[in-house]
Amino acid sequence: MQSAVLTLKDITKAYHDTVILDIPELQLQHNIYWLLGGNGAGKTTSMKVMAGLIPFKGDIQLENNISCRKQPVQYRRFVNYAEAEPVYPGFLTGNDLVSLYLKTKGNGYQDIKELIELLSIHTFIHRPVSTYSSGMLKKLSLLLAFTGTPKVILLDEPLITLDKQTVPLLYDMVESFYTKHGVTFCITSHQPVSAVSIQLQVQERNIVKI
């Protein structure tokens, strides 16, 4: 049996008094997962919990040896996350953000300049992000999720605002990081995601395999 990359145990997440997630146990193996669920079901909340970015009860283990609760810095070094609607300080340029990520995450599996060219980010990377369109911002945030040497990449609604040419490029990146670099992906999307092999669903506050 494949060993678990992420193990969620006794997770509960509430906003104020409203419980959004109640997950007794969930194991994600090395794979590409598509997380489904209706509007407001809890997909983004699940992604933020798995990214270790918001408080929750319970714990998540990465490869059974790094605890999100006990070793949050180490955990976040190996779990990358791209938000559905990324927001960055407007005065920073794409170059500033790439430098910052490289400094904190280290050199990546693939040369960052190659990825910048591949996604055609080089034409605007020198500009402050306040001047970007939503699609340009999305491309930059996806690029940043592929920096460093993550074991898991979480992509929340990666397809929204992406142009037709970029969608297959993103799928190729997902496939190649999955096969060549052993990265596990969890992707939320209301559109079908062709790169995916296992579907998950947020159902009555739990995440189940379907």
Binding residues (CB under 6 A) for ligand ATP: these are 15, 20, 37, 39-45
CB of 84 to ligand ATP, least distance (A): 7
Query: Minimum CB separation from ligand ATP for residue 154, in Å?
Result: 12
- Closest distance of CB 19 from ligand ATP, Å: 10
Query: First-to-last CA distance in the chain?
Result: 19
The nearer residue to ligand ATP, 42 or 108, going by C-beta atoms, is 42
SS3 annotation, 121-142: CCCCCCCEHHHCCHHHHHHHHH
Compare residues 103 and 204 and give the one whose CB is closer to ligand ATP: 204
Q: Which is nearer to ligand ATP, 15 or 91 (CB)?
A: 15
Q: Determine the Cα–Cα distance for residues 140 and 7; give it in Å rounded to an integer.
A: 29
Instruction: Decide whether 103 or 192 has the Cβ nearer to ligand ATP.
Output: 192
Give Cα separations from 20 to 14, 195, 206 (angstroms). Answer: 5, 28, 9
Please give the structure tokens belonging to residue 170. 């993103």
Residue 49 beta carbon to ligand ATP: minimum distance, rounded to whole angstroms:
9
Rounded least distance, CB 42 to ligand ATP, Å: 4
Residue nearer to ligand ATP on the CB measure, 43 or 77: 43
